[in-house]
Chains A and B, each alone.
Chain A
Amino acid sequence: MVDVDRRTVVRDSLGVAIATGTYGLSFGAVGVASGLDVAQTCVLSLLMFTGASQFALAGVLGAGGSAVSGALTALLLGTRNTLYGLRMAPLLGYRGWQRAVAAHVLIDESTAMAVNRASRSLARTGFWTTGGTIFVLWNLTTLVGAVAGEQLGDPRDLGLDAAVGAAFLALLWPRLASPVARLTAVLAALVAASAVTVTPAGVPVLVAAGVAVLVGALRR
């Protein structure tokens, strides 16, 4: 029975991991299209290893934003991993170096495949199978996407500048389930678009984070 449970967890985790790991292809292509070189794009996948923050840093720099606003946007998006960590800490029960390694693969998907498991052992199986597989695939496909993107010539001719917006929308889509989230998204987009005309590149996105604070604080 235990083995059947474990096999199910591994199979589900691998399915999610393989689907997610291949997104790295689009990050690699978008990274070089945004003006990063292949090494910078690959180091982002290795060190940062959290997709939305990586796309954000590349996107802000590509749009002419400063390094500081790019880094701040990536960090603000990275705060959601802190929340995942708070939920995962009692489930995984790691300390010391195991915790330090686990933190690196603490992302949306590894959390999703580990919460709600019947035991700590199954939670750990889901977490490591998903996180580890995505880490390997994400870095390989980032390299492939970046090298291919560099060979293919002007990113605009390939529509890769439009691909960045589509990638952000696809990352946003599953978070729009509640009316409050949809209201926040619409307001943030309006605020950011208005700010484009009056602030330096990169700043509009940071200003829009204020919408989340306002909506979250005002709503009961």
Chain B
Amino acid sequence: MTWWAILAAGLGCYLLKLAGLSVPARVLARPVVARIADLVPVALLAALVAVQVLAAPSGRALALDARAAALGVAVLLLLARAPFLVVVFGSAASAALLRLL
């Protein structure tokens, strides 16, 4: 099942790129469509942050733990304009440290 998701979504993502290079530009000329398309990645990424950090590992519940503190560290690193890798691994290291304490 995982392989099917990987192959289908991989092919789908390629076709989305190819479609952009192939269809006439007027399809997305409507301002409403353009605005929504701009906001979709913002909403999805914000939702992924929330679920990744707050959803309890056991299932349908919320939990406030080392992941939330690690996200706070990530915010500080982003505010300090740290590079992507420093943000990701700095945040991971802070969660690992908190769990050791």
Binding site for B on A (CB under 8 A): 19-20, 22-23, 25-26, 36, 40, 43-44, 47-50, 52-53, 55-57, 59-61, 63-64, 67-68, 70-71, 73-86, 88-90, 92, 94, 99-100, 102-104, 106, 156-173, 175-176, 180-181, 184-193, 196-201, 204-205, 207-213, 215-217, 219
CA distance A84 to B93 in the complex (A): 35
A165 touches B36 (CB 8 A): no
Looking at A56, A104, A186, A196, which has the most chain B CB atoms within 10 Å of its CB? A196
Looking at B18, B23, B25, which has the most chain A CB atoms within 10 Å of its CB? B18
In the assembled complex, which residues on chain B have CB atoms less than 8 Å from the CB atom of A73?
44, 48
Chain B interface mostly? helix
Given the interface pairs A48-B10, A170-B78, the reply to whether A157 lies near B23 with Cβ below 8 Å is no
CA distance A92 to B41 in the complex (A): 25
B49 touches A75 (CB 8 A): no
A26 touches B85 (CB 8 A): yes
In the assembled complex, which residues on chain B have CB atoms less than 8 Å from the CB atom of A166?
70-71, 73-74, 87-88, 90-92
B47 touches A189 (CB 8 A): yes
CA distance A106 to B60 in the complex (A): 37
Q: Which of B5, B12, B51 contacts A205 (CB 8 A)?
A: B51
In the assembled complex, which residues on chain A have CB atoms less than 8 Å from the CB atom of B46?
172, 184-186, 188-189, 192, 208
Given the interface pairs A57-B5, A67-B2, A159-B99, the reply to whether A86 lies near B25 with Cβ below 8 Å is yes
A212 touches B39 (CB 8 A): yes
B45 touches A171 (CB 8 A): yes
A57 touches B20 (CB 8 A): no
CA distance A11 to B72 in the complex (A): 35
In the assembled complex, which residues on chain B have CB atoms less than 8 Å from the CB atom of A81?
13, 16-17, 20
B17 touches A85 (CB 8 A): yes
Given the interface pairs A86-B25, A189-B50, A193-B62, the reply to whether A40 lies near B67 with Cβ below 8 Å is no
CA distance A100 to B74 in the complex (A): 37
23 residue pairs of the A-B complex, CB under 8 angstroms, read A19-B83, A48-B14, A52-B45, A55-B48, A59-B52, A60-B48, A75-B13, A80-B37, A89-B20, A90-B25, A99-B22, A156-B99, A159-B91, A162-B53, A166-B87, A169-B78, A172-B42, A185-B46, A190-B50, A196-B61, A211-B43, A212-B44, A215-B43
Beyond known contacts A196-B61, A209-B43: 19 more, CB 8 A cutoff: A59-B48, A71-B12, A73-B48, A75-B12, A82-B19, A85-B17, A85-B22, A165-B49, A165-B70, A165-B71, A168-B45, A170-B84, A175-B45, A184-B42, A189-B49, A189-B50, A193-B62, A213-B36, A216-B38
A165 touches B39 (CB 8 A): no
Q: Which of B21, B27, B35 contacts A99 (CB 8 A)?
A: B21
CA distance A180 to B42 in the complex (A): 10
